[in-house]
Amino acid sequence: MSVISRGFRGRRGEGGDRLPPGQYLEHGFPVLSAGPTPHVPLDRWEFVIDTEDGQAHRWTWDELTALPAETPTVDIHCVTKWSKFDTSWEGVSLDVLFENVDSAAEYALVHSYGGYTTNLPVADLLDGKAWIAYRYDGEELEPQHGGPARLLVPHLYFWKSAKWVRGIRLLDEDTPGFWETAGYHDYGDPWREQRYQGD
């Protein structure tokens, strides 16, 4: 007797093997934010990487957008269970920004205009895994989606891709951010359904 019923093909429905467990495919682009949308004039915008020993590496908007850009097309996955396939972005790889940053820190706390924070291992920001994105689908990134620039870390739940990003503080110890302090998972791997602490 067969253990698997005839006709069983595993997970069915839209999305197939690209859809992490517990997610559904979204064709729009929902807007979810932890607070009001900050508006930062580009002439006052800056991005800063602060190392664990107090060194600050700064870029103005013009300096950031003059760096070599990449155009990743990636799937994104929100902790509220929607996923969106083949999203097209433009931005600067964190590998470029970290080229001259001397640090042995293993953890990062990302800061946004408006006060939002989220924590990630530094390893999840490097090796082609993360970008500071300032364009989406060929257009300037809209404020409601994190413009003028947001962090893009598509292999983790989307709350880790901080909107309105303004800097990264490198740390020797992991420090929870906004949602992590409220009970969300410290890492947030959608393939392991790491939505909340203990998952």
pLDDT, tens digit, 9 for 90 and up, residues 73-92: 999 999 999 999 999 999 99
Non-local CB neighbours of 172 within 8 Å, separated by 6+ positions: 52, 105, 106, 107
Environment class of 73 (CB within 10 Å of its CB; exposed 0-12, middle 13-18, buried 19+): exposed
130 neighbors 124 (Cβ within 8 angstroms): yes
Q: Which of 56, 79, 58, 62 is nearest to 183 (CA)?
A: 79
In tens, the pLDDT along 94-139 reads 999 999 999 999 999 999 999 999 999 999 999 999 999 999 999 9
Q: How many CA atoms lie within 13 A of 87 on its CB side?
A: 24
In tens, the pLDDT along 49-72 reads 999 999 999 999 999 999 999 999
Domains within the chain, CATH numbers bracketed: 22-28+40-192 (3.90.420.10)
